[in-house]
Structure 1
Amino acid sequence: MMEYPEDRLDSEKKTNFLTKKLSEMLTTKANKIIKKMQEANSDSLGIGRHIIAHHHETWQKINWEEKYPNVSFKARVNVEISKHGIFN
């Protein structure tokens, strides 16, 4: 972040602003991606596998292909800027 110091990207105020803004943007994108995956009936995150492994009785009672597109998911991304500068 310090590669272009004219924007004062090394200040704590700017870092906090970027952290908040990136968290919001990535959360929005993650929720859109999850919705598109549900529309395509794609369980690429392996949620069904988790249910099979940890909630087997529930898995046997549901039809995953019918339930999965209608499950309400809410992703939340928290960004933490831990270093700044030029990375190799």
Structure 2
Amino acid sequence: MSKKLSSQANEITDLLIEANSDPIGIGRTVESKKPSFYKGLNWEEAYQNVEIIPSIEVNIKNTGNLF
């Protein structure tokens, strides 16, 4: 289950980068933490080279029926 969810998350992040969409605010974080670095950066171009590697871990604590 962890591998499947990680794979799906990876597909989603690839689509977001391709669409130049930054919904988790990576650019905003870079801008606030490293403003001088961000000023000299073409964020739209740089974002296309961002590598996001999702890693999802699943721990099932209980099983049963959901109603």
Settle same-fold status: TM greater than 0.5: yes
Identity over the aligned pairs, expressed in percent? 36
2:13 aligned partner:
34
Deviation per CA, 1:16-65, whole angstroms, max 9, x where unpaired?
Answer: xxxxxx10000001111001001000001111111112222221121100
Q: Judging by fraction of residues, say which structure has more helix.
A: 1
- Structure showing greater Rg: 1
| TM-score, length of structure 1 as denominator length | 0.68
* 2:26 is equivalent to residue 43 of structure 1: no
Query: CA shift at 1:66, angstroms?
Result: 0.6
RMSD: 1.3
Structure 1 residue runs of 5 or longer lacking an equivalent are 1-21
Aligned partners of 1:55 and 1:83: how far apart in 2?
43
Query: Aligned equivalents of 1:86 and 1:56: distance in 2?
Result: 51
C-alpha separation in 2, matches of 1:41 and 1:28 = 20
Structure 1 segments of 4+ aligned residues over 4 angstroms from their partners: none
TM-score, with length taken from structure 2:
0.87
Aligned pairs, number: 67
